[in-house]
Amino acid sequence: GQSLEQPSEVTAVEGAIVQINCTYQTSGFYGLSWYQQHDGGAPTFLSYNALDGLEETGRFSSFLSRSDSYGYLLLQELQMKDSASYFCAVRAINTGGFKTIFGAGTRLFVKA
């Protein structure tokens, strides 16, 4: 089966750094993605890790440890517009091909 765990809510102040963790148990694991979704909006792709280590894209970084079945999204220099839901998603292969399975999501509240 597939399961992902991430905190349901995180609150941080503007300008701070926040880390959103994700642990997974997935057969056929290939990689871990992160998506952002504002209320009423569509999910938008942020990053993907297939190999262990840190990937940096501007203010956002994502980390993966395959041996620990663990990853995180790091958001730096938080801005009010970063208030949104963040989903980790595993990319896994099984019968029928690759699938993307989303975690339950973490709601990030950024305070002034």
Partner 1 sequence: DTEVTQTPKHLVMGMTNKKSLKCEQHMGHRAMYWYKQKAKKPPELMFVYSYEKLSINESVPSRFSPECPNSSLLNLHLHALQPEDSALYLCASSQESGDYEQYFGPGTRLTVT
Stretch that binds partner 1, among 12-20, 61-69, 72-80, 100-108 (CB under 8 A): 100-108
Determine if 91 is a binding residue for partner 1 (CB under 8 A).
Answer: yes
Nearer to partner 1, 95 or 112 (CB): 95
Nearest approach in angstroms of CB 15 to partner 1 is 27
3-state secondary structure labels for all residues of the chain: CEEEECCCEEEEECCCCEEEEEEEEECCEEEEEEEEECCCCCCEEEEEECCCEEEEECCEEEEEECCCCEEEEEECCCCHHHCEEEEEEEEEEECCEEEEEECCCEEEEEEC
Determine if 58 is a binding residue for partner 1 (CB under 8 A).
Answer: no
Determine if 54 is a binding residue for partner 1 (CB under 8 A).
Answer: no
Query: Contact residues for partner 1 (CB under 8 A)?
Result: 30-31, 33, 41-45, 48, 50, 87, 91, 93, 96-105, 107
